[in-house]
Amino acid sequence: MADTETPIGKRKADHLEVAASGRAEFAKSTLLEHVHLVHQALPELALAEIDLDTELVGKPLKAPLLITGMTGGTAEAAAVNRDLARAAQAAGVAFGVGSQRAMEEHPELAASYQVRDVAPDVVLLGNVGAVQVLAMGPARVVELAKRIGADAIAVHLNPGQELIQDRGDRDFRGVRDGIARLVEASPIPIVVKETGCGLSAQAALSLIAAGVRTVDVAGAGGTSWVAVEAMRAASGSPAANLGTELWDWGIPTAVSVVAAARAGLIVIASGGMRTGYDVARALALGARAGGMAAPMLRAQRAGGEEAIRELLAQIIDSIRTVCLLTGCSSATDLARAPRHLGAPLRAFLDDLVPARAP
């Protein structure tokens, strides 16, 4: 049986096609455009001396960037993952695979997640859904990560997507306790990530109580996975109608970054990140690194590994340039760079999190 003939394989193939097409984008923005960094005309810096080194999940990166988990479970996914992983290793940035649920349910699909042979040193994140963590238990989740040589496990939260998806999860009770048990048992770091709807201040505090230290906020403003599932559903069906109604559901990425950083979490900012300037603005709000998925997938489809390498180089050059223009000698200094927050973002922050400047 071809991998796309299984229900989960067909779903993965659909996800790739819709996400790459750009037809499931949010109408609302990330609100990162309302982070205005202050230009410094006398930076007293040389571009070549800007330090972009950072650390994520206890591993060094040459730039504060993660290619976030997208896919696995099909032959096409295997090719995508290997191109992405090779490019990530060459650039010295992190890379995550998509949900390993397909690999757990169909062991013969494991090869679509294997990238260590082509990217032996890349900082690699595995990926398991939070509901599956609860069902599988820590030992099986850790084993899945070990089978691909992962440096960390990303546990994804996606109730918005699941509630639209045909035969998706409908019961999310006990998820936080399942994550807490995994954090306690896992020999490698756990990263909890949303999938396009963002993390609230309340969710951030709950994750800290569960022992989580690093999150990927995956906020609203890029690909809407509620919209992806609405587009996959039969036209006029209850799922399609509900997904269309809730197409724009979620917390903008900029708001989620501030909420999670204020709570004391190490933050990966993803969700609608399209440029190095977006990453730099997220770092200024308190993120440790930026995460991108759709731009990398589109680059891979347009020109394979070489196109991904070129895009990564462009993004990294942009982050370095913004550092110099703001008088920052390193990417970590951006968190202290002078900036102005536009009214739409500031109002959102005042509503959602305790009122104080990020």
Q: What is the pLDDT of residues 35-79, one digit of tens each?
A: 999 999 999 999 999 999 999 999 999 999 999 988 888 888 999
Per-residue pLDDT of the chain (358 residues; tens, 9 = 90+): 345 555 666 656 666 666 666 777 788 999 999 999 999 999 999 999 999 999 999 999 999 999 998 888 888 899 999 999 999 999 999 999 999 999 999 999 999 999 999 999 999 999 999 999 999 999 999 999 999 999 999 999 999 899 998 888 888 999 999 999 999 999 999 999 999 999 999 999 999 999 999 999 999 998 888 888 888 888 889 889 988 998 899 999 999 999 999 999 999 999 999 999 999 999 999 999 999 999 999 999 999 999 999 999 999 999 999 999 999 999 999 999 999 999 999 999 987 655 444 4
Name the packing angle between helices 7-21 and 75-91 (round to 10°).
Answer: 50
Helix and strand numbers (H, E) in the chain are: 14, 12
Q: What whole-number distance in Å separates Cα of residue 278 and Cα of residue 283?
A: 9
190-194 and 94-96 as β-strands: parallel, antiparallel, unpaired?
unpaired
At 289, which CATH number?
Answer: 3.20.20.70
26 within a domain of the structure (yes/no): yes
Q: What whole-number distance in Å separates Cα of residue 325 and Cα of residue 22?
A: 32
What pTM, to 2 d.p., does this model score?
0.92
Spatial CA neighbour of 109 closest among 225, 18, 10, 228: 10
By residue range, what is the domain housing residue 307?
A: 3-352
157 within a domain of the structure (yes/no): yes
357 within a domain of the structure (yes/no): no
Spatial CA neighbour of 33 closest among 249, 312, 338, 274: 274
Q: What is the pLDDT of residue 329?
A: 98
Q: What is the pLDDT of residue 11?
A: 58
Helix segments in the chain, DSSP class H: 7-21, 75-91, 101-105, 130-136, 138-147, 159-164, 175-185, 201-209, 225-232, 238-245, 253-263, 276-284, 294-325, 343-352
Within 8 A by CB and 6+ apart from 88, the residues are 67, 94, 95, 119, 122, 312
155 within a domain of the structure (yes/no): yes
Tokens in use for 348? 């959102």
Q: What is the pLDDT of residue 1?
A: 39
358 within a domain of the structure (yes/no): no
Spatial CA neighbour of 61 closest among 290, 317, 333: 290
Angle at 149 between CA 144 and CA 152, to 5 degrees: 75
278 CB-contact burial (10 Å; exposed 0-12 / middle 13-18 / buried 19+) = buried
Q: What is the pLDDT of residue 358?
A: 41
Q: What whole-number distance in Å separates Cα of residue 342 and Cα of residue 349?
A: 11
160 within a domain of the structure (yes/no): yes
Angle at 75 between CA 69 and CA 81, to 5 degrees: 30
CA-CA-CA-CA torsion sign (324, 326, 329, 335): negative
Q: Tokens 């609302």 map to which residue?
A: 28
Domain count, the chain: 1
139 within a domain of the structure (yes/no): yes
149 within a domain of the structure (yes/no): yes
Spatial CA neighbour of 125 closest among 173, 168, 61, 208: 61
160 CB-contact burial (10 Å; exposed 0-12 / middle 13-18 / buried 19+) = buried
Q: Tokens 């109730």 map to which residue?
A: 159
Integer Rg of the chain from CA: 19
